[in-house]
Amino acid sequence: MDLFVARVVDGFNNGVIYGFLALALVCVYRGTGHLNLAQGEMAMFSAFTAYAFYAAGLPVVLAILGACVVGFIAGGVVERVLIRPLGHHADYSILLVTIGLFLMLNAGAGVIWGGDPLPFPAPVPSTPDDYISFLGTRLRYQQILVFVVLVVVMVGLFLLFRFTRLGLAMRATASNPDSARLMGMRVNQINGLGWMMAAGVGALIGALVAPSTTLTTGMMFNFLIYAAAAATLGGFDSPVGAVLAGIVLGVVENLVGSYVDWVGSDLKQAVALVILLAVLMVRPTGLFGTKKVERV
Amino acid sequence: MTLTKKPLALVVASLSALVLTACGAAPGSDSSSASTDDDAAVSAAEELGMDLADCPAGVTEPLPAEANVGLTLPLTGGPATAFAVLGPGAQAALEEANATAGLDTSFNVIQKDDQFLPDKTLAATQELVQKDQVVAMTAVVGTAGVMAIRDILREDCVPGVSMAAGGVGAIDPEYPEIVQGVVPFTLDARIWVEAVNERYPDGAKIATFIGNTESGKDYGEQIDRWLEETGSASEIVSAETIEAADAASPSSQVTTMRNSGADVLFAAPTGGQCISMLTEMANQGWEPETFLTTNCASSTYFGAAGPAADGVQTVQSFKDINSPRFAGDEGIAAVRDALTEYAPDADVENTTTYSGYFYAETLVEAAKAAAESDLGLSQLGIIYAARHLDFHSPLLIDGVDFTVNGTEDMVPIEAAELNTWSVDDGGFVQGELYDFEGELTE
């Protein structure tokens, strides 16, 4: 029983990370209707930025907050300089730009901070003795912190999208930018805000997972694949759906990898991709996504 | 009313774009064959299992006054940050040789980017061999990359001395042109097994945690090999793997290994995974006797793991330039001086820079030995000399030599210390020297 609980907790912790990054993907998609493939690398770069602040002498919490601010601003700059000139309907061009951004940030971080893995401190006590026992397994303070922050951000985004005029405007511009513009909405600014929010959320997750992954330029690549699967499973326009799907994905993947011998650690990633494929075939909008209605 | 298909199209297109890689072209050769009446050349080739008739003309001829040496290494992409510094290190060794070795040939280094992808290593090597007419290759990184190019080197009889590849693909008697330049994984595995056999005469329960890579495959096979050949009473009770790109903490693998009841862990993950594995083990309170891959045997990895690395053992044949033990080492100081003089841009604080120097230094040693032999400083001369090299680099730990003997002893580095990381000492504590000279070739 203890082993089963430990495996569920292991999967849950990974799922929280998938859900967190998926939340950043949802921010961009919900605000602009686009998929940002550079989201993981933006998070990675922000984590390195937090490291730079920390190395310069800032307390780790301030270093993380500073990286979030820098990430928030950088997200706006990316949208203004690289995305907006392509126009709102250039889906595939924007996709290619985000791949270019992915490569640029990955190489840039390596040039600036080098190729060796760097240790990054946790904002809460994180020695081997810093945990709470739960059904025979260990819930580490750092993992609890990531989950709590995720819930706060998720609820905040849910309230923003659901109950505010800004959220309504973001949904409108993502759904039909031309009509939204005719209604007097400042579509470009709203798109920019979507990118800024996503970059800020990404910065948070990058810096929060760095203590367990160590800082490397490849630290977010695999997470991005899982996050894309989570966002697809939960629905690209549903913050709550993306988070729940991320957690479900993490737990299912870990249990299947642990208890199905022929899957094991080797094919764990395939579990996520099979789930992704199944969802796309059966319910393309995801479990919690909204169906898009067009007037004909 | 329609359902949007945008998420489907975007996700499929995106993931495809990120994972697809191009396939490499098959190598070709347009050279005419070598023919020679030189008994020494024919004899040398036969000893190595080479047929000179299959080699291009000129393989037995003296090298020109200026000759190109090729390197392929990642200069772009993620791995570039770790490996690009090999180039200046190799450059320094060859420039130093040009200035001081007194050879009739001066070497120019030509580097090409392979992004650490075997198909690109193949393409870059084809260009180096066919267009740039390199007389030798050195410092190619990774077993998979070496395996991708060894047929080209064989076809054109180009020496590959010495390669940064620890797998068995770099010590294959079918490819005498390829000479390994790192601690072989088989030595790692042999020392781990010998240490366990000594400490657990009644047998231990072993867990393995190995990267799902070409190197990892070698590790698994070599651990099995030495457990069997040494008649070990130990058994593997848990075999976990990890994908090379997986940056997540390996919590599920550690949970499984911990619950297997293993007393000993043999671990060969990749790069930063060495750190996250040790951290996760400490977090779960799992403290088996741990042996960690020589690929992570530096202060960079152990230091970053903090207290979690205390007591972890690793195999070392090379001096750790950042270790207090070698703070005043004359050999390291001499190489640092050479790097400073002949490659001013080299990062002299980076261990990998010194590795680059060592690979090219080995090639220089082979060239010097060839120049003094009956074969002279030719490509065949370098291949033969490299396959019979016996020297001690200033970067190797005392008691460890670079020794090979034709195709009978293909493994150059067969001795190493099993050292333990000490947090209190801030470095590795010197352990027992294991010497398996001449015993590791399959």
ipTM at complex level? 0.84
Whether residue B167 sits in one domain with residue B192: no
Based on the domain organization, do B300 and B238 belong to the same domain? yes
- Looking at the structure of chain B, the number of domains it has is 2
Q: Quick check: A206 contacting B, CB < 8 Å?
A: no
pLDDT at B28: 34
Q: State the smallest CA–CA distance between residue A159 and chain B in angstroms.
A: 23
Mean pLDDT value of segment A231-260: 91
Residue B37's pLDDT is 62
Q: Are residues B176 and B234 in the same domain?
A: no
* B149 and B136 in a common domain: yes
* B386 neighbors B366 (Cβ within 8 angstroms): yes
Is B4's CB within 8 Å of A257's CB? no
Candidates A20, A116, A279: best to mutate against B (most CBs of B within 10 A) is A116
CATH number at residue B309: 3.40.50.2300
Report the residue from A17, A102, A212 with minimal CB separation from B279: A212
Burial label, A90 (beta-carbon count in 10 A; 0-12, 13-18, 19+):
middle
Burial grade of A119 (CB within 10 A; 0-12, 13-18, 19 or more): middle
Closest CA to B303 of B285, B326, B323, B289: B323
Among A10, A37, A266, select the one facing B255 at the smallest CB separation: A10
**In this complex, do B11 and A276 lie within 8 Å of one another by their Cβ atoms?**
yes
**A269 part of contact set with chain B, CB < 8 Å:** yes
**Taking the CA atoms of chain B, what radius of gyration do you get in angstroms?**
23
Give the closest of B2, B8, B82 to A116, CB-based.
B82
Tell me which of A2, A21, A143, A265 to substitute to probe the interface with B (most B C-beta atoms closer than 10 Å).
A265
pLDDT at residue number A265: 80
Residues on chain A touching B77 (C-beta within 8 angstroms): 103, 106-107
Mean pLDDT over A199-219 rounds to 92
Residue in chain B closest to A1 (alpha carbons) equals: B259
Question: pLDDT category, A276, cuts 50, 70, 90?
Answer: confident
Spatial distance between the Cα atoms of A198 and A35, rounded to a whole number of angstroms: 11
The nearest alpha carbon in chain B to A13 belongs to: B251
Confidence grade of residue A293 (pLDDT, cut at 50, 70, 90): low
| Contact assignment for A7 to B255 by CB distance below 8 Å | yes
Pick from A106, A228, A280: which is nearest to B78 by CB? A106
Q: For chain A, first and last CA: distance in Å?
A: 56
Predicted local distance difference test score (pLDDT) of residue A91: 84
Taking the CA atoms of residue A54, residue A59, residue A64 and residue A70 in that order, the dihedral angle to the nearest 10 degrees is: -70
Q: Which two tokens stand for residue B161?
A: 């001395």
Domain that holds residue B238: 185-316+416-435
Of B271, B270, B262, B317, give the one whose Cα is nearest residue B290.
Answer: B262
**Contact call for B247 and A222, based on CB within 8 A:** yes
**Is B52 inside any structural domain?**
no
- Number of A/B CB contacts below 8 angstroms equals 169
If asked whether residues B371 and B431 sit together in one domain, one would say no
Between the CA of residue B56 and those of B25, B147, B262, what are the distances in Å?
21, 21, 54
In a domain, B28, yes or no: no
Domain locations in chain A as residue ranges: 17-219
- Whether residue B15 is contained in a domain is answered as no
Best probe of the B interface among A212, A258, A281, by most B CBs < 10 A, is A212
Predicted local distance difference test score (pLDDT) of residue B34: 60
CA angle B128, B350, B422 (to 5 degrees): 135
Tokens for A174?
Answer: 């993502």
More confident residue, B17 or A182: A182
A17 touches chain B (CB under 8 A): yes
DSSP state of A164: S
**Strand pairing category for B160-163 and B289-292:** unpaired
CB pair distance less than 8 Å for B246 and A222 = yes
Residue of B nearest to A216 (CA): B272
Distance from CA of A121 to the nearest CA of B (A): 11
Q: Say if residue B294 is in the same domain as residue B424.
A: yes
Question: What pLDDT score does B15 carry?
Answer: 46
Residue A253: count other Cβ atoms within 10 Å of its Cβ: 26
Q: In this structure, what are the phi and psi dihedrals at residue B62, rounded to the nearest 5 degrees? A: -60, 145
Helices within A91-216 (DSSP H only)? 91-113, 141-163, 165-175, 177-182, 187-213
Query: Which of residues B164 and A181 earns the better pLDDT score?
Result: B164
The pTM of this model reads 0.84
pLDDT at B27: 32
Residues B310 and B298 in one domain: yes
pLDDT tens for each residue of chain B, 442 residues long:
333 444 445 444 454 444 433 333 333 334 456 656 678 899 999 999 999 999 998 899 999 999 999 999 988 776 777 788 999 999 999 999 999 999 999 999 999 999 889 999 999 999 999 999 999 999 999 899 999 999 999 999 999 999 999 998 899 999 999 999 999 999 999 999 999 999 999 999 999 999 988 889 999 999 999 999 999 999 999 999 998 888 888 999 999 999 999 999 999 998 889 999 999 999 999 999 999 999 899 888 898 899 999 999 999 999 989 888 898 999 999 999 999 999 998 999 888 999 999 999 999 999 999 999 999 999 999 999 999 999 999 999 999 999 999 999 999 999 999 999 999 988 899 999 999 999 998 8
**Alpha carbon distances (Å) from B347 to A8, B69, B357:** 45, 21, 12
Rounded to a whole number of angstroms, the distance from the CA of B293 to the nearest CA of chain A is 16
CA of A66 vs chain B CAs: smallest distance (Å): 23
Q: What is the pLDDT of residue B21?
A: 31
Chain B positions touching A119 (Cβ under 8 A) are 275, 304-306
Distance from CA of B372 to the nearest CA of A (A): 40
pLDDT in the model for residue B31 = 45
Nearest Cα residue in chain B from A114: B81
Contact A236 B7 (CB under 8 A): yes
Same domain, B306 and B343: no
Chain A residues 66-105 within an 8 A CB cutoff of chain B: 91-92, 95, 99, 102-103
Nearest chain B residue to A295 by CA distance is B1
B157 and B221 share a domain?
no
